Structure 1
């Protein structure tokens, strides 16, 4: 489909990849042979240790490899670790560790590594059997990145507490995988992992679908995924509430004084199908992104748009638009939480107070979703107004003389009201040192 065609398609039905969502039968980029073929733990470890960039370590079809005693197994930079998931009905060779120590990951993927066509299973229970009084949270995961440009595709990842894939480096691509029985985060995005692409996966979830730490430099694009919320375990209680797509508030900014809710940089959530059995919300942005969160052309199973993707207060830099809700696919052109985008260039929002002295020329851009108009833009420091107008000021139009402020902590606050009367805001904590 062309980009124009996709504008009128909702949910994962838009999938233009040519491969089945979740991978398996019909997936085309299957690796069928390698430089070395392995079928047990010793051979796998030896082959990976000897492998060089461009080589393929192939796990034999039908094999089941017991990895008890081995965690943090390195897939070297540029190496492909592969199996035959989907070929002639193959479920893919199994790599499993039934006794993972707490906070361990089974595999560590180096820069440019690819992990494809495998079943990889940890030691935590299936969703219905979760009881942390019986088996405490392990914080274990399947795959973590150890470098940029990691690809995880056509895999089945399951049975860990923390994450199926933990991306903490740029350009991670997780696609055409089936991820299930991962208690917390099927995909976790942290560190400086922007952009992370999460594409055409089948995800069964109970806590989140994808979660981000909110750290500056963090963001993700989720597209063409089918996310199915499963029934939470009895041990969690009948009134358990959670949400699917997520970006946390960045913890250090949240704990600072004044407290700020900063939620990553850029987030794109589009053309996904959310089969939410409830009680749960489809997503929550838990702060203000430094750039923009866009949520569009998704199909949310809830008929109530209030149970779609929302944002906590204060609101800003989120566009929710052109999504459909419920089995009737009711279209909502502009979501309630849609606000203006305020891109602060100087000073830039970070996790720490911006240290400033002397004169500071403010530089920020303002834009709104097509169909809306900017009505009023204001800028202030603490309770002192610096600017008010019907447009954003130019880069050198508003100059703050910090010598007029007492040394210490102050708050720069930018607000934009649109023609609906809805206001979005962005704030920066200033540390004045004159």
Structure 2
């Protein structure tokens, strides 16, 4: 198979080669984000004398570990191994449906090994988080000449869960003395897991793993965006601790080389050059949600490259990108040694390096140390997010983000504790199913898609009652929600909630001025429909809003954005209440 043909990045700050810049005497000034040695790391890039300490939060399922409810245990094992040779043999003999279990107490030196295949349908597992175990540790202690420890070529249905993979450079940020086109640099390149196949659906799962010390990427997914066989490789990466993948030029946590069906959620990131990186081709995209990016970084955290910089045929930054409900904590990049590039300067959290072919949505995130970019700009290092290669925001949208250290509402940013799904599922307790549609309702003949329909799921263990709904279009010209009917029901009321235990319709006299709120128990002109919508545990129902208007005329809602806040009450014996804000963009 042809290589993925990626250019290691060169710093945008260099006007001559980066090494030449430093040799000319432009020595970095001391910055705020100085990196010092800590207990779990040495102060160099080497693998010597490092422990297996995991910095992810112990009291949260974010990052996996003890708080994560795994659904694979040693009882599921087809084969149990405790040595490197035993592992290789077991994988060579495995077939679809098999679980190859690595003894949870094993520490296995895999130095010298590379490109070990995991066959289609096989699960490679260990016991991270079970009875206090950190899971088996597989480590590599020297450079790998650009290869990966596990390389799954054209395999589907692969799962890697509950295991630790430590690369050859776990000591922190380092800037090799060689430039990327020099042999010494290539010798240092390494990856933990590299999976590619021709399936665009999510057929690969990597969960509850501890991954650190890799120079190219802890996880690399997809291949051949520049010709040859296209390998879009849809994936689900969740509940992993991914940190200290920190080599200059590369240094990726999750490296997305192709495909747009990538979901990265409930992961803990720290001290990566980029936590999530996209290759940039027009079929490249991802959804990142419920992740924590901690207080050390080498460069910006979430990324989409310009395809042209990776030998693509035009300027474009991927396809569809959705970044929501994440918490970003760092203020500045790390500071390297005097002959290294990083100087402790500011770094944005998100950088999109051209216009996406479809769109990039940035919603409901908590940016703890950065401000919103000012009007008339497209961001910069000192702001929360940036778009480069354009003169004004292009196919970029944001809503309901929090900026600054003050803790926002519970539904902004990553979950504060627990509530991280588990069992491989990774779903929040009250879930929007990301399926909003603009609807041309059959009750009218104006042919405008002026209604919205979406579904939500109650993942709580008790009945859920929707009590209030607040509607706020981003477009201030959309000033009314009015159905022009005295009937109640779907497309006959401003709000109709179809729930399995009890539906609800709110028909507002003279319509609802927007932005505005509906109290399901008290609003509406018919007493028989003044009631909460009630969902049983595990059930899914629909919300229907009709119709959106501008000065009495229906508005086609395709391309519009609406913030929808749903307040709810749980019949759990504790009078628990909650609120969830959705960004709807049909």
Q: For 2:124, what is the secondary structure of its paired residue?
A: strand
1:23 pairs with 2:61: no
Q: 1:317 aligns with which of 376, 395, 413?
A: 395
TM-score of the aligned structures, taking structure 2 as reference length: 0.50
1:64 pairs with 2:107: yes
Residues 195-206 of structure 1: matches in 2 within 5 Å? 195-206=261-272
Query: 1:227 matched to which residue of 2?
Result: 293
Preserved CA contact (<8 Å) 1:174 1:199:
yes
Q: May I ask how many residue pairs the two structures share in their alignment?
A: 312
Deviation at 1:38, TM superposition (A): 0.4
CA distance in 2, matches of 1:217, 1:223: 20
1:220–1:106 CA distance, 2 compared to 1 (3 A): same
Q: For 2:213, what is the secondary structure of its paired residue?
A: strand
Deviation at 1:310, TM superposition (A): 2.1
Query: 2:326 matched to which residue of 1?
Result: 272
CA distance in 2, matches of 1:178, 1:118: 11
CA distance in 2, matches of 1:328, 1:220: 28
Preserved CA contact (<8 Å) 2:144 2:189:
no
CA distance in 2, matches of 1:229, 1:289: 28
Divergent runs of 4+, >3 A? 134-137, 252-256
Query: 2:363 matched to which residue of 1?
Result: 296
Deviation at 1:19, TM superposition (A): 7.1
RMSD: 2.8
1:328–1:303 CA distance, 2 compared to 1 (3 A): farther
1:158–1:327 CA distance, 2 compared to 1 (3 A): same
Query: 2:190 matched to which residue of 1?
Result: 140
Residues 126-275 of structure 1: matches in 2 within 5 Å? 126-128=171-173, 130-133=174-177, 136=185, 138-147=188-197, 148=199, 149-168=203-222, 169-183=232-246, 184-191=251-258, 193-230=259-296, 232=298, 242-251=299-308, 260-275=314-329
Deviation at 1:152, TM superposition (A): 0.4
Preserved CA contact (<8 Å) 2:195 2:233:
no
Query: 2:351 matched to which residue of 1?
Result: 284
Pick the structure with greater CA Rg. Answer: 2
Q: Which structure 2 segments of 5+ residues have no match?
A: 1-58, 179-183, 223-231, 333-345, 374-382, 410-471, 478-558, 562-586
CA distance in 2, matches of 1:206, 1:50: 35
Q: Which structure 1 segments of 5+ residues have no match?
A: 1-17, 233-241, 332-368, 375-415, 419-434
Deviation at 1:29, TM superposition (A): 1.9
Deviation at 1:136, TM superposition (A): 4.0
Preserved CA contact (<8 Å) 2:306 2:317:
yes
Query: 1:356 matched to which residue of 2?
Result: none
Deviation at 1:263, TM superposition (A): 0.7
CA distance in 2, matches of 1:25, 1:117: 10
CA distance in 1, matches of 2:311, 2:159: 35
Residues 325-364 of structure 1: matches in 2 within 5 Å? 325-328=403-406
TM-score of the aligned structures, taking structure 1 as reference length: 0.67
Answer 1 or 2: which has greater strand percent: 1
